[in-house]
Chain A
Amino acid sequence: MQLTGAEILLECLMEQGVDTVFGYPGGAVLNIYDALAKYPHTIRHILPSHEQGAAHAADGYARATGKVGVCLATSGPGATNLVTGIATAYMDSVPLVAITGNVPSPLLGKDSFQEVDITGITMPITKHNFIVKDVRNLASVLRKAFYIAQEGRQGPVLIDIPKDITSQQTDFRCEVPKTIPKHTGLITADAITEAIRLLQSSKQPLIYAGGGVVSSNAASDLLRFAEKVASPVVSSLMGLGGFPGNHPLFCGLIGMHGMKTSNLASSSCDLLIAVGARFSDRVVSDIKRFASSAQILHIDIDPAEINKNIHTHHHITGDIKSVLERLNVALEPLDIESKQEWLSQISSWKTQFPLSYGKSGGLKPQYIIERIHALTQGQAIITTEVGQNQIWAAQSYTYTLPRTFISSGGLGTMGYGLGASIGAQIGQPNKQVFNIAGDGSFRMNCNELATAVEYELPIIIVILNNHALGMVRQWQDLFYDKRYSQTTLTRSTDFVKLAEAYGALGLNLTRIEDVDTVLTQALEYSGTVVVNCEIDRDDKVFPIVPPGAAIEDVITEDS
């Protein structure tokens, strides 16, 4: 049938099973929006306050559901407003398809009104991008984009469509989307055998789990694997939820804000099994001193991650779930006796170095998050902003389910959380979504409150309000002789009134004894809630590994 480019775009989205698009109209996408209005309402369009919000929402939707997130923006400023969101998704390997309009093809390259070279701009922050210059290629480009976003290591793909392409007509035929193959070709029998040999000869194994476990839906396989090997498990920020946080083998976060047990374990283990993790600088600190007494077995879908940041002794490249399944089948239950000493060492570290925070002084952010966990029975989805709020949210909530911790790990994007919470809530309407925020981060993109209210999303935004850019201030405190350069926020913003102005419920929380009452009130409210929690300006995130130090040299609360 003859369809316009705009109609083909919508047909292709439906073909891919897309039910939600986060987008913002403008001149270059007028034809697309016109088609959207005329089309049967099979695609739900969410209009945010800002294109950055659309990109973060599409990302949050993807992380919460495992499906591809889709965002749409007009040319020029619309497209550039997506950039931070695309980069965020790229750094955390989130499947995203971003569609931008551009000026009509004859005007390309002439500095036309609202023209930017968005494929040039996003080249280093997408898996791939396209500009469509012939309407006859539009459908195949869209299909390729969805395929690339999901295939192998996932990531964002951008498609730039000049305006004239969306009004031109061509023949269109529906196609069944190509199935996404699992990468299993390199999971050879030899690679498995060698891994088994390493696992069998290790007396002090340690599993280091990353975001790959979550994105390949391998949480249950990792659990079986860890139990079979009787190996303690540590997690990167991105890996949280990929292994039950309440399991006896779990030691917690590893890295800059890792648990001391995790960091000590990484320095003492004889075999480090990295599963879908990439040895980022936030984990390893000083690479030369990281896991220096261990053999490293690296399991990852991306061949380029092998030997990129650290030299590995053995690796298996392929889909994490498939690798773990193969290992689980091949593994005889291992001799736990020989590991007894190691396991009791780990548990004595755990008793010796628990996560602790000063109980004196006012309202503690850690306590608020612990109560959120208790009141939601750990069933909530937690999105975060960036800074102390993010690390507290990572440490003090026990994640037992994959896709329940949603945070900008690689790019560290302040302003990510609110948009992400909107996407997560839309993707998982039956879950309670919390966005844990700092006052700085919240202020960056709080315009999206309007969106949450408009779509009646019962998100609870918890602002851990320290009237500071807390994490930066903490570094200035610890490493810059307390010179608090531009990190004290003496703004007079009233977040409760702000919430009310947007049509949300605003609540203040200032005393420990009110935590449960206020959180319960928020949970019982049917719409969007902002809880402004007044916390101490000088509360810090511990443990912390000072820059350049070895990972086991952590500073803790009482050191």
Chain B
Amino acid sequence: MNRQILSVLVDNQSGVLSRVAGLFSRRGYNIDSLSVGETEDPDVSRMTIVARGDDATLEQIKKQLNKLIDVIKVVTLEPGDSVYRELLLVKVQTAAGNRASISEIVDIFRAKIIDVAPQSMTVELTGDESKVNAFAQLMQPYGIIEIVRTGLTALQRGDKDIKN
């Protein structure tokens, strides 16, 4: 199975998220993550979808997305040609007096401590997937209380934009 990162421009209409999500579940397409937000034009939102499947399925996913009336454009973001980022927030236990060693890892990863409490610390990290995964793994031994990830967002490198 291959993985593909799709950037999808959609009309910022109510229901558009459920149309897209419904399409994936109804046709049995695998989806790793989906993130969505407004663009420079408030009438248009942009979704980043990480989908998985063989080549034929990935081709179908793009074609089926294109059939949705609210979908304006679908583009595949090729790994070499694009920048990917994901945001992670993780709350780790600090009860055993291990703040210093967590801080050290945070520094190495250029992450940020955004909340400190008597028995925990919340850390923010942005990076591509492998960096986020590596960081989450390193936090594991300290005891992760909770973790939340936004899913990947991405843009094409260089001067080009999705519209042309």
* B residues less than 8 Å from A131 (CB atoms): 14-15
**How many Å lie between the Cα of A94 and that of B102 in the bound state?**
62
Q: Which of A277-314 contact B (CB under 8 A)?
A: 302-304, 306-308, 311
| A185 lies within 8 A of chain B by Cβ | no
Q: Which of A119, A148, A308 contacts B60 (CB 8 A)?
A: A308
Bound-complex Cα distance A311 to B26 (A)? 22
Question: CB of B96 within 8 A of chain A?
Answer: no
Binds B, one of A121-129, A268-276, A453-461, A508-516: A121-129
Contact A304 B64 (CB under 8 A): yes
- CB pair B66–A148 under 8 Å, yes or no, is no
Q: Find chain A residues with CB under 8 A from B19 CB.
A: 123
B22 at the interface (CB under 8 A from A): yes
* A148 x B63 contact (CB < 8 A): no
**How many angstroms between the C-alpha atoms of A306 and B64 in the bound complex?**
11
Name B56's closest neighbour in chain A (CB-CB): A307
A303-B15 contact in complex given A123-B22, A124-B26, C-beta closer than 8 Å: no
Q: Does B117 contact A (CB under 8 A)?
A: no
Structural contact, B18 and A120, CB atoms closer than 8 A: yes
A123 to B68, CA, bound (A): 10
Question: Which interface class (under 10, 10 to 19, 20 to 34, 35 or more) fits A?
Answer: 10 to 19
Tell me whether chain B's interface is mostly helix, strand or loop, or mixed: helix
B67 at the A interface (CB under 8 A): yes
Contacts A148-B69, A303-B66, A304-B66 hold; do A123 and B60 have CB atoms under 8 A apart? no
Docked CA distance A127–B14 (Å): 16
Residues of B within 8 A of A124 (CB): 22, 26
Known: A123-B18, A123-B19, A124-B22. A304 touches B69 (CB 8 A): no
Chain B: number of interface residues, binned into ranges: 10 to 19
Say yes or no: B15 contacts A119, CB within 8 Å.
Answer: yes
Which of chain A's residues have a CB closer than 8 A to the CB of B69?
127-128, 148
On whether the beta carbons of A304 and B18 are closer than 8 Å, the reply is no
Docked CA distance A124–B18 (Å):
10
Q: Report A151 CB to chain B, min CB distance, Å.
A: 10
Identify the closest chain B residue to A148 (Cβ).
Answer: B69
User: In the assembled complex, which residues on chain A have CB atoms less than 8 Å from the CB atom of B14?
Assistant: 131
Give a binary string over B63-83; 1 marks a CB under 8 Å from any A CB, 0 the rest. 110111110000000000000
CA distance A123 to B63 in the complex (A): 18
Given A124-B26, A127-B69, A128-B69, the answer on whether A307 and B59 have CB atoms closer than 8 Å is yes
Which chain A residues border B70 with CB–CB below 8 Å?
128
* Per-position binary interface string of chain A over residues 336-353, scored 1 when its CB falls under 8 Å from any chain B CB and 0 otherwise: 000000000000000000
Task: Give B115-153 as 1s and 0s: 1 = Cβ < 8 Å from A's Cβ atoms.
Answer: 000000000000000000000000000000000000000
A304 to chain B: closest residue by CB: B63
Question: Is the Cβ of B60 less than 8 Å from the Cβ of A304?
Answer: yes
Q: Which residues of B contact A303 (CB under 8 A)?
A: 63, 66
Q: Which residues of A contact B67 (CB under 8 A)?
A: 302, 304
Ordered by A's residue number, 8 sampled pairs between the chains whose C-beta atoms are within 8 Å are A124-B26, A128-B68, A131-B15, A302-B67, A304-B60, A304-B66, A304-B67, A307-B56
Report the 3 A-B pairs with minimum CB-CB distance, sorted nearest first.
A304-B63, A128-B69, A124-B26
Given contacts A303-B66, A308-B63, 6 further A-B contacts (CB under 8 A): A123-B19, A127-B69, A128-B70, A304-B60, A304-B64, A306-B63
